[in-house]
Structure 1
Amino acid sequence: MKDKYYSIGRVSEICNIPIKTLRYYDKINVMVPSIRQENNNYRYYSHDQMVRLFIIKRLRYLGFSLEEVRNILKEDDIQKIELIVTKKQNSIKDEIIELNRKYEEAATLKNKLQSAQRILENSNNYNVESSFKLEKQREVYVFGKTTMMQSYKNEKVSLEKWIDIIESAKERNLNIQGDILVSYHTEMFGQFIHRDCEVEFSIVVENDIKDAEVKKFGNFLAANAIHVGDYSDIVHTYISLKRWIEENELMVDGPVTERFMLSPVDLPNTEQHIVKIIVPVKPRN
């Protein structure tokens, strides 16, 4: 019998399948040993069964469920088997796309944290006015939604709007590449007064996507400031930046945008939140 059959231990060794798994396959009738000795319950497998076990192992590696494996082993039509395998191949391809998307999102978050860390390392001696810069805003692509906020006052972030823009971008299979942007279509400081205010919530996405709601942002001259800490104090940074703009013979030339470099959806500690204020400007005539 030893010449024709293989013990469960030998099958486990040859096929590199744990004995525990072989016993489970036996229990659920995926692969029942050809011989089972009644006196000691030893299991013995035929050579053909070993071949089928190796097929099972490969199918499991490809992600087929045990029920799918059982159906494939029963199927004699090669075309039907090919269709099953093709369907699995397409499923694997979709998983690869999703994993790549997750990898890119993780890379984006890592870059955000690294950039924020460089700013926070000097936060003890941080002077907000040292962050004021006049520079051309780099052009990026953003996916956004504009909404009229009733009796709006910019004293805390609108998390429900953020979550909506992130989830909407994912539903459209857009590859998120950067930060959340909030633009206020009102005069500077208008968002700090209880009044109706048109607010645009957007997020930076991959630039080769064609979507009706994806547009360009940037490519304009801007006065920028970095606000570190609790968002409720950001109005003081605005006041200082407005004074700096006037001192440099500049004037506001468009909606103010806040770029959340490190935000509540990235890190819960409000003292480590970082917001870049972007104010389009032009020389005063």
Structure 2
Amino acid sequence: MSKYFSIGEMSKLHKISIQTLRYYDEIGLFKPIYVDKKSNYRYYSIEQFSKLDVVKYLKYLGMPLKEIKDKLEENNEEILKLLNNKIDVVDSKIKELELIKKVLNTKKETIETGLKVDDIGKIFKKHIPRRSILSMEYEDGFSIEEKMELSRRKIANILEENVSVFYGGVGGLVSMEKVKSNQKVIYENSFVTIERDLFNKENQKSIKTIPTGDFICIKYKGSYCENYKYFKQLIDYIEYKRIQVEDYMYEIPIIDPLSTNNKDELITEIQVLVKKREIDLRCLV
């Protein structure tokens, strides 16, 4: 009986437990080629090795055992079709993981940059590529603090649903005209910069775009409650220089509450987009 392998030998050769081989036998997925009627010992042949390899491979791909059993009874074309489908699934997962890695790297780089900033309170210009943002409007019937917190929680829920993690970085949209007329910061909504392709079609309805362009910016350090003076400083500068800008101002966290428990260490950047027709006509910073 040298051409046969005992269940123990089969277990060692294929790195699979004896209990698993017995279970495969019970459900008819992978049966021994010979069973001794007296001892009830199971024996396998070399010809069965490749079949067990296929079982292990398809199980590695995440296929249920019942489906594996059905596929083993089909022809090679069906197996090829299955492999192509699994490759598509893997490619999709790789793309998703690459996007998540990009999101996390961006967060990491933002924090690293924030820790090195030496231009707090200084006004500067920079060019920023187009950004996708997940925006959430405020609900009526709440105080401004409650509206902001509720909006941030809804954003976090969508992020956790699509990206599996809430990575912070929630910013606020502010109208320059309302800041000037009310002499305080009034948020229109909350948003977070995202990778659009990570989100399902339903949630993509909440995704908007900040266009590419030159932005006049200022960074401030500390609590958001003390941000009015920096908004005013930026607005006064823009009016003094007669720079034509869009009305909306974007408040972007660099070091946010998820990165530090100390409000004094928070770093935030206020950005306002220069109108395109004025980019080359004004002497900016």
* Same-fold status (TM-score > 0.5): yes
**Amino acid paired to 2:172:** V
Does structure 1 residue 188 correspond to structure 2 residue 179? Answer: yes
Uncovered stretches (5+) of structure 2, i.e. residues with no partner? 199-203, 275-281
Shift of 1:71: 0.9
- Residue 261 of structure 2 is aligned to residue 269 of structure 1: yes
Deviation at 1:179, TM superposition (A): 4.4
Deviation at 1:280, TM superposition (A): 6.5
Give the 3-state SS of the residue equivalent to 2:111 in structure 1.
helix
Q: Offset of 1:151 from its aligned partner?
A: 8.0
1:145-156 matched pairs, under 5 angstroms = 145=135, 147=137, 150=140, 155=145
What CA deviation, in whole Å up to 9, does each residue of 1:140-178 have, x standing for no partner?
3233547466588655782443454566689999xx999
Give matches, 1:56-205, under 5 Å. Answer: 56-75=55-74, 77-118=75-116, 131-140=120-129, 141-145=131-135, 147=137, 150=140, 155=145, 158-165=148-155, 179-185=169-175, 186-188=177-179, 190=182, 192=184, 199-205=188-194
Letter in structure 1 aligned against 2:9: R
Counterpart contact for 2:136–2:154, Cα < 8 Å: no
Paired AA for residue 34 in structure 1: I
Aligned residue pair count: 261
The alignment partner of 2:178 has SS state of: coil
Q: Pick the aligned partner of 2:220 from 214, 222, 226.
A: 226
Partner of 1:138: helix, strand, or coil? strand
Aligned-partner Cα distance in 1 for 2:90–2:236:
58
Q: What CA distance in whole angstroms lies between the structure 2 residues aligned with 1:278 and 1:9?
A: 68
**d(CA) in 1 for partners of 2:127 and 2:105?**
20
How far the C-alpha of 1:215 sits from its partner, in A, is: 3.0
Q: Equivalent residue of 2:124, what SS?
A: strand
Residue identity in the other structure for 1:224:
I
Q: Which moved more, 1:255-264 or 1:34-43?
A: 34-43
Partner of 1:127: none
Q: TM-score, normalised by structure 1?
A: 0.68
Range with bigger deviation, 25-34 or 162-171 = 162-171
Aligned to 2:248: 255
Question: Given that residues 172 and 187 in structure 2 are in contact (C-alpha distance below 8 angstroms), is that contact kept between their aligned partners in structure 1?
Answer: no
Specify the alignment match of 1:236 in structure 2.
226
Identity of aligned pairs, percent? 23
Residue identity matched to 1:13: K
